[in-house]
């Protein structure tokens, strides 16, 4: 039984929007990832992530890019509620095991799902600089999500000319 049949059997009509976006012929690994995300974050969250086009085609086969990261970010954002306060901008220098582990791609996925503007770039010293702009509560959530996923030893933040150790 294919992944689409499994989803259809378990979720019925509620899964129709998601099933329209899921291509045929997913690899077992990608299928398992999709099913795990549905189980963990709910079918509505996964559907919304796919509606934001977090999948791509590689080598003639469909796969999902970092599906867990945007699902987790969107799920936590829904728990957080609407942002309060003004928009702020930070440069955050992340130290630890942050290069060659998908840190920048995951940062972009999280920022996209949290409706933050920003970028992430590798630094020559092995750190990663993340520049991000948006509501403070969402930036705080971004930091939490990155800390949970990666081995971060230190975050040095700069906002409006002042430096804060996080």
Active site residue 112: no
**Which residue is catalytic, options 76, 112, 122, 162?**
122
Please spell the DSSP secondary structure of the chain, one letter per residue.
--HHHHHHHHHGGGGHHHHHHSPS---HHHHHHHHHHHHHH-HHHHHHHHHTT-EEEETTEEEESSSHHHHHHHHHHHHH-S--S-EEEEEEEEEEE-SSSSHHHHHHHHHHHTT-EEEEEE-TTS-EEEEEEEEHHHHHHHHHHHHHHSEEEEEEEEETTEEEE-
**Which residue is catalytic, options 9, 104, 138, 162?**
104
Cβ neighbours of residue 108 closer than 8 Å, sequence gap 6 or more: 119, 120
Catalytic residue positions, numbered:
104, 122
């Amino acid at each position: 039984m294919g992944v689409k049949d499994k989803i259809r059997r378990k979720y019925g009509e509620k899964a129709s929007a998601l099933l329209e976006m899921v291509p045929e012929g997913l690899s077992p690994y990608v299928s398992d990832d999709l099913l795990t995300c549905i189980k963990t974050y709910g079918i509505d969250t996964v559907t919304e992530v796919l509606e934001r086009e977090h999948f791509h085609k590689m080598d003639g086969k469909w796969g999902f890019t970092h599906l867990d990261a945007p699902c987790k970010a969107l799920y936590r954002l829904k728990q957080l509620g609407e942002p309060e306060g003004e928009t702020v901008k930070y440069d955050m220098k992340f130290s630890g095991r942050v290069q060659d582990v998908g840190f920048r791609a995951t940062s972009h996925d999280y920022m996209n799902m949290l409706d933050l503007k920003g970028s992430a770039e590798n630094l020559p010293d092995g750190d990663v600089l993340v520049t991000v702009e948006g509501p403070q509560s969402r930036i705080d959530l971004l930091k939490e999500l990155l800390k949970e996923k990666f081995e971060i030893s230190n975050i040095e933040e700069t906002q409006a000319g002042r430096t804060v150790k996080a």
